[in-house]
């Protein structure tokens, strides 16, 4: 009963957010550059890639997604989806930002940035269909290390498919069902961002309240705690969440 009520509330809130967003609610935005902040990201992608390459030299020190965000355990298995995190719902992860100063400097200037990390997907891994919780945010992927066999590496959002390109941005609405498949022998890495959806005044007021509530929940507190624990631990274990 409570679960059904919660789902109805989420749907009603998402409908409200859709009505109050002047940019519409397409699953994938046909032109990412309508969002001005995507331009400097694409222009600097090779600098970001250089810092990513240094991170990848020590893959064993990069946690799996579910080790940082336990609520992702259904879609993140073993060591197949790693994340090197810069921001968690507006909270800056200073240690990781220090390791990638050029990337961090770009992120620090992005308006409305909430989440940011390198999303590192292993070869032959499938992220099963799932939906994000709120239209308060939009998602950005900047291709950094895309398999040469692009046709077999894609994201589906609702009924639309996208194949990443190095140095190119895609903006999408993750409240639609989406899944990712990397059916290649190479890993796929994108810079993964969530930012505030453009809204009219009523929408901004509601979304501001929602974001503040989210920051007070375990949805945000647990990843921050786990990131700190991971930084202090002696060695990674991909099957366990940091205590």
- Dist. CA 80–CA 15, nearest whole Å: 34
Contact status, residue 81 vs residue 127, Cβ threshold 8 Å: yes
**Structural domains of the chain ordered from first start:** 24-232 (2.60.120.330)
Predicted confidence (pLDDT) per residue in 165-187, tens digit: 999 999 999 999 999 999 999 99
Predicted confidence (pLDDT) per residue in 26-61, tens digit: 999 999 988 999 999 999 999 999 999 999 999 999
Q: What is the DSSP code (8-state) at residue 92?
A: E
Tokens of 13: 């809130």
Tokens of 166: 């190095």
CA angle 156, 158, 162 (to 5 degrees): 30
pTM score of the predicted model: 0.92
């Amino acid at each position: 009963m409570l679960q059904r009520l919660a789902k109805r509330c989420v749907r009603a809130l998402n409908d409200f957010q859709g009505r109050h967003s002047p940019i519409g609610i397409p699953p994938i935005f046909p032109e990412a550059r309508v969002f001005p902040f995507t331009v400097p990201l694409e222009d600097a992608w090779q600098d970001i890639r250089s810092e990513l390459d240094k991170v990848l030299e020590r893959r064993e020190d990069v946690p799996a997604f579910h080790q940082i965000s336990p609520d992702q355990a259904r879609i993140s298995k073993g060591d197949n989806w790693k994340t090197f995190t810069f921001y968690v719902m507006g909270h800056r992860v200073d240690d990781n930002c220090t390791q990638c100063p050029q990337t961090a400097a770009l992120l620090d200037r992005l308006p409305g940035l909430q989440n940011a990390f390198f999303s590192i997907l292993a070869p032959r891994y499938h992220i099963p269909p799932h939906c994000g919780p709120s239209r308060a945010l939009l998602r950005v992927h900047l291709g950094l290390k895309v398999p040469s066999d692009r046709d077999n590496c894609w994201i589906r959002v609702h009924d639309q498919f996208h194949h990443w390109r190095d140095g190119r941005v895609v903006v999408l609405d993750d409240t639609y069902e989406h899944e990712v498949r990397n059916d290649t022998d190479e890993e796929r890495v994108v810079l993964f961002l969530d930012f505030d959806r453009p809204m009219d005044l009523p929408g901004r007021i509601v979304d501001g309240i929602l974001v503040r509530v989210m920051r007070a929940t375990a949805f945000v507190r647990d990843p921050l705690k786990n990131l700190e624990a991971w930084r202090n631990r002696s060695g990674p274990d991909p099957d366990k969440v940091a205590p």
